[in-house]
Structure 1
Amino acid sequence: MSTPASASPGVRLLILAAIPAVLIGIGSALILKGVYLLSDLLEPVLWQTLPKVFGATESTPWWIFTVLTVTGALIGAVVWLVPGHAGPDSATTELDGPFPKLMALPSLALVLVLSLAGGVSLGPENPILAINAVLAMTLLGRLKRMPPALLSTLAVAGTIGALFGTPVAAALVFTGAVAGSKLPGSLWDKLFLPLAAAAAGSGTTLLLDGPVFSMGMAPVGQVQPYDLLMATVIAMLAAAIGVLMIWVFPFVHRGFHALRNPLLFTLLGGVVLGVLGMIGGPITLFKGAEQTGELLKNAGHYSTGQLAAIAGIKIVALLVAAGAGFRGGRIFPSVFIGTALGMLGAALVPGLPLPLAVACGVMGFVLAVARDGWIALFIAVAVLGTGDVAVLATLCVIILPTWLVVTKAPGMLIKPKEQFAPAGVRAKTS
């Protein structure tokens, strides 16, 4: 049913409002790029320059342990002592908030750079979304017809576009969000500004870097009934593993935060991550985007046991990093875990196309963590980077039974009653 023309905000208003939306999208991408540049400057110092001084390499077990332990201590000190305390614990926030106060942004940016460069198994999503949303509301808050909620929405859309190098992800995320909103006009009137911000953000990223997740795998081709069945099993098992991880998550979070002081529980988290890194090696470190490409590039070099170990270590690392007070998102490492699970599934099911197995592993695990079918579908297709429309149709079928695995499961989010109030840090910083 179409919306009456009188309900539309009008072409002139949409065009005028698109100007700040595009600026927000470009700014969001540039800030993300700035964070990446800082972490890219620090990372080689930590993993190439310094280890040579001590006769080690980035793969030396004791060096991996040292870097992650020191990273945990530094991040814990910032969360404990620096004004703003790096904002709320990422384990307690969704991608769309709550956001911290302006004074928390410098400390939040600092711990994000340390986390990305130090090899912590978290992505940049939650912190960079918070930084961009708060800056948009602060800098453009006086614009007429642009309330803070709309500005934060545009910043989130622009950042999602920048993170994934395409506005499609933002379009899918915000379709459901704006459909029930009180904004005037039809669905596409409501999507116009978020899509403008997302397009500007993704366009800026593509000009600077290129696609983030696209691995350029071979097209899946025609899917046989047996392949469809086995792929569905892989997706459902990956989702079930994700649900099990999420069920354990509150206990992990509660255990670390029982130490109360951020310096203590984040330092302990760094120690545990260091031990896991010693066992799993460099492939299990960092946010996982580059490591996903490395894993797929060397697919034939891993045994089923190695793939199972890599996935298991990364799952535990994600639990620890998210539960021990580090700031970061869960989507990027979830893509790596889903890829490893998909590769394991392909190794265990002879003849099953590897791209299809990987797509289903990613879709299932991301679906459990993000609890958003659109995001799971988008990332699964984006990882393949094949442009194969047939695989999208196949995944739309497979996601239906997979959703039944996660629909009643809890989300990977710590509710206020499940939190401790760390010493020296206010329980609520937003």
Structure 2
Amino acid sequence: MAQETTQQAPPSAPTAPARALLPFILPAALVGVAASLVFVGVSTAGEKLQHLLWGPLPDALGVGRSSVLWMFVVLVATGIAVGLVVWKAPGHAGPDPATVGLDAPVLPPAVLPGLVLATALMLAGGPSLGPENPVIAVNVSLAAWLGARFLPRTPGALWPVLAEAATIGALFGTPVAAALVISEALAGRPMPGRLWDNVFAPLTAGTCGAVTTALAARPTFDLKLPPLGHPRAGDLLAALVIASVAALLGMCAVRAFPYVCAAFRRLRHPMLMLPAGGVVLGALAAVGGQLTLFKGVTQVGQLARDPGGWSAGQFATMTVVKLAALLVAASCGFRGGRIFPAVFVGTALGLCAHALVPAVHLSVGVATGVLGMLLAITRQGWMSLFTAAVLVSSPGTLALLCVASLPAWLLVTGRPQMQVRQDGTPVR
């Protein structure tokens, strides 16, 4: 007699009651506001010093602000200044940035002043890195240290998650990016409850961080490009090709990353590694011009305001030079992140595609170029999609971005990342 077996679906994770989530609101809000203020403070300090270095100072010396000589001098001087901080500051301004990603380790409080100073000097001096990685590290460490001291009953593992979400929300001026990144990070981990219960506190921190930044700095990422409207077959083809080319180009830098890191590590001392990096960056700036310096957010806006002001060859040159500058700056020891300069590289590539083939819509070229480049550099799928969509603010591109992300992701998944271990081997 056959026996029937019934298979029961596994019970779904229980939903947390409201009283279990309410105690996390205050810690999350405090972390969100504090993380945003740290981000705004570091960015403002870097901008003030940048204005001095690239404005009144060269004018007073009678040197052109955009001259090759001045770019070379400032980049080498920045390498020397950051090298001194890394050499002499307690904790050497944190770990080698080539060995860490967005998931920052908790650092001792004594290390943080040196890391902040090195980051502000880097932002002002022109190396092609953004503030995201060191600011996340500072906020994670402060949250863990202050949280354990003043709110010891809050789980210690929660503070780094709150700080990371708050900083990402502050960086982009919206909590959506934080929610997407945290959801992606939680996807591979066993969770005690429902996804939204686990995301509740980080989303609260990201919201408070985003609101604080919006009130203090009013950031915007919309490039004001023409909206796409209804996508056509040609737009789909362009999206697939550009995203894939961007991903392949980004993977060239990723593949070269451990070799460039090894070359700088042979110099063994930050007072050799960082000035040498400044020399290489100065040579690259001589080729690409001042637009290829700095983290790239302001420069992306300049490109988008006048996409017809440069030829396809000039856009291609800026694409290659900026990607090489990102590779060198991330390898030689400058403290900084890779998201914002990767956005510049993807934007320049998309504008190059439009200049070569005018039928390529501007929004499609820029959005898919940024998407493919960020997928290769960061391996953060949701962040890449979100950033590309925010830049063009065109609903018609959303479906194209989702489709274009598929071949681009196949090109980058399972391959080495732009991060190395302490022994120099690439992280996969």
**Alignment TM-score > 0.5, same fold:** yes
Residue 403 of structure 1 corresponds to: 409
Which of these residues, 369, 375, 396, is aligned with residue 377 of structure 2? 369
Which of these residues, 327, 346, 366, is aligned with residue 354 of structure 2? 346
Residue 88 of structure 1 corresponds to: 95
Residue 399 of structure 2 corresponds to: 393
Contact 1:116 1:124 in 2 (8 A): yes
Gaps of 5+ in 2: 1-8
| SS in structure 1 at match of 2:127 | coil
Structure 1: distance between partners of 2:10 and 2:29: 27
Contact 1:24 1:155 in 2 (8 A): yes
Residue 150 of structure 1 corresponds to: 158
Amino acid at match of 2:413: T
Aligned CA distance change for structure 1 residues 328 and 3 (closer, same or farther; 3 Å): farther
Structure 2: distance between partners of 1:197 and 1:231: 34
Which of these residues, 80, 83, 95, is aligned with residue 76 of structure 1? 83
Which of these residues, 335, 340, 345, is aligned with residue 332 of structure 1? 340
| SS in structure 2 at match of 1:418 | coil
Contact 1:47 1:57 in 2 (8 A): no
Residue 302 of structure 1 corresponds to: 310
Structure 2: distance between partners of 1:371 and 1:244: 14
Contact 1:115 1:327 in 2 (8 A): yes
Structure 2: distance between partners of 1:37 and 1:226: 43
TM-score norm. by structure 2 comes to: 0.94
Q: Which range moved further: 179-188 or 50-59?
A: 179-188
TM-fit CA distance, 1:144: 4.5
Which of these residues, 310, 324, 328, is aligned with residue 320 of structure 1? 328
TM-fit CA distance, 1:181: 4.0
Aligned CA distance change for structure 1 residues 102 and 339 (closer, same or farther; 3 Å): same
Q: Report 1:101-116 matches (<5 A).
A: 101-116=108-123
Residue 18 of structure 2 corresponds to: 11
Contact 2:184 2:382 in 1 (8 A): no
Structure 2: distance between partners of 1:264 and 1:99: 27
Residue 419 of structure 2 corresponds to: 413
TM-fit CA distance, 1:209: 1.9
CA deviations on 1:155-193 (whole Å, 9 max, x unpaired) are 000000000011111111111323454553211000100
Which of these residues, 206, 210, 213, is aligned with residue 202 of structure 1? 210
Matched, 1:23 2:52: no
Residue identity (%): 48
Matched, 1:218 2:223: no
TM-fit CA distance, 1:94: 1.3
Contact 1:238 1:365 in 2 (8 A): yes
TM-fit CA distance, 1:2: 11
Flag the structure with larger Rg: 2
Residue 423 of structure 1 corresponds to: none
CA deviations on 1:26-72 (whole Å, 9 max, x unpaired) are 11001111111211221111111110121013211101111110000
Q: Report 1:171-210 matches (<5 A).
A: 171-210=179-218
Contact 2:300 2:344 in 1 (8 A): yes
Contact 2:295 2:340 in 1 (8 A): yes
TM-score norm. by structure 1 comes to: 0.93
Matched, 1:133 2:140: yes
Residue 60 of structure 2 corresponds to: 53
| SS in structure 2 at match of 1:417 | coil
| SS in structure 1 at match of 2:403 | helix
Amino acid at match of 2:424: E
Which of these residues, 25, 37, 46, is aligned with residue 44 of structure 2? 37
TM-fit CA distance, 1:418: 0.8
Residue 424 of structure 1 corresponds to: none
CA deviations on 1:353-411 (whole Å, 9 max, x unpaired) are 11111100000000100112111100101111x2x333112211111111111113210
Matched, 1:379 2:387: yes
CA deviations on 1:11-37 (whole Å, 9 max, x unpaired) are 123122111101100110011111112
Structure 1: distance between partners of 2:10 and 2:221: 36
Contact 2:315 2:351 in 1 (8 A): yes
RMSD: 1.6
Residue 167 of structure 2 corresponds to: 159
Give the paired residue count.
416
CA deviations on 1:281-316 (whole Å, 9 max, x unpaired) are 210100000000011112101101100111111111
Amino acid at match of 2:89: V
Gaps of 5+ in 1: 420-430
